[in-house]
Structure 1
């Protein structure tokens, strides 16, 4: 059942407002400290039960020189920008196909997002399997560097 009146209204006029001895309400000493205080001392049973991974090191940190950041580009972007790339000289036309070297644009990998309607000859260090499939489906070529 929902309480119709706030409990504090009932406790008005009482000395300790339902907290027992008034000294118990002073500071955080009565509850053993604030926050995580005493996690390895008086609150150890709580820590062991509810936060067992609180202490110690977990996992490892990979050296930054081992992590290679890949900068990908989608086929849809190349499709949209094809005319601009040809105008700026970063791509060229070879018959019906558009020849693009993705590394000149600052990308490392070609991904297959979007639909393509033109034939592309794209050279890149990496391709996703579906990107190769889409490029070859339109009569283009995917050249891995």
Structure 2
């Protein structure tokens, strides 16, 4: 079991240093050679050799991983099927929804979305134009009598 205090603390109450010598020793980060990772390339090098993988110094030194630059990374703006159903109802009430053959036509890019996900439920037959759609979303829309049409290019 871990003890909160050493046994000797009881007997050292009243002494200024509790057996650590001159004033200020065994306080703060000076006694450990610096805070955090300070000194890992100098006086704490033995820790790097002991705990780094195969003596390479990892994870202490070097670059790790890769961050995609913004120009080539896609900023996903997803929408769930349930939310899409609510939006279509609002568009239908305001008269902005376009109807084609008994089904409402929705272009997600015009609404500001570029991915269709399968959360929620839909009972309105719709034709959805989207760059990307999940399998579950496609199944739910087809079950409601609609269709998902995938656009060829992914728009950012």
Asked if Structure 1 and Structure 2 have the same fold, meaning a TM-score greater than 0.5 normalized by the shorter chain, the answer is yes
Name structure 2 gaps, 5 residues minimum: 152-156
- Aligned residues of 1:91 and 1:101 also touching (Cα < 8 A): no
The DSSP-based 3-state class of the residue aligned with 2:71 is helix
- Aligned residues of 1:123 and 1:142 also touching (Cα < 8 A): yes
Does residue 37 of structure 2 align to residue 36 of structure 1? yes
Please give the residue correspondences for 1:1-80 in structure 2 after superposition, counting only pairs within 5 Å. 7-14=8-15, 16-19=17-20, 21-22=21-22, 25=25, 30-51=31-52, 52=57, 53-80=59-86
User: What is the deviation of 1:26?
Assistant: 7.0
Q: Distance in 2 between matches of 1:129 and 1:139?
A: 16
Q: Distance in 1 between matches of 2:119 and 2:82?
A: 6
Q: Distance in 2 between matches of 1:81 and 1:89?
A: 12
Structure 2 CA distance for partners of 1:94 and 1:62, relative to 1, 3 Å: closer
Q: Distance in 2 between matches of 1:139 and 1:15?
A: 82
Q: Distance in 2 between matches of 1:108 and 1:88?
A: 23
Question: Between Structure 1 and Structure 2, whose CA radius of gyration is higher?
Answer: 1
Bigger proportion of residues as helix: 1
User: What is the deviation of 1:107?
Assistant: 0.9
| Structure 2 counterpart of 1:81 | 87
CA-to-aligned-CA distance 1:57-83 (integer Å, 9 cap, x gap): 223332221101121111100112222
Q: TM-score, normalised by structure 1?
A: 0.77
User: What is the deviation of 1:98?
Assistant: 2.3
Structure 2 CA distance for partners of 1:88 and 1:102, relative to 1, 3 Å: farther
| Structure 1 counterpart of 2:154 | none
- Aligned residues of 2:17 and 2:23 also touching (Cα < 8 A): no
| Structure 1 counterpart of 2:115 | 109
Number of positions where the alignment pairs a residue of Structure 1 with one of Structure 2: 144
Q: Distance in 1 between matches of 2:125 and 2:14?
A: 85
| Structure 2 counterpart of 1:123 | 129
Name structure 1 gaps, 5 residues minimum: none
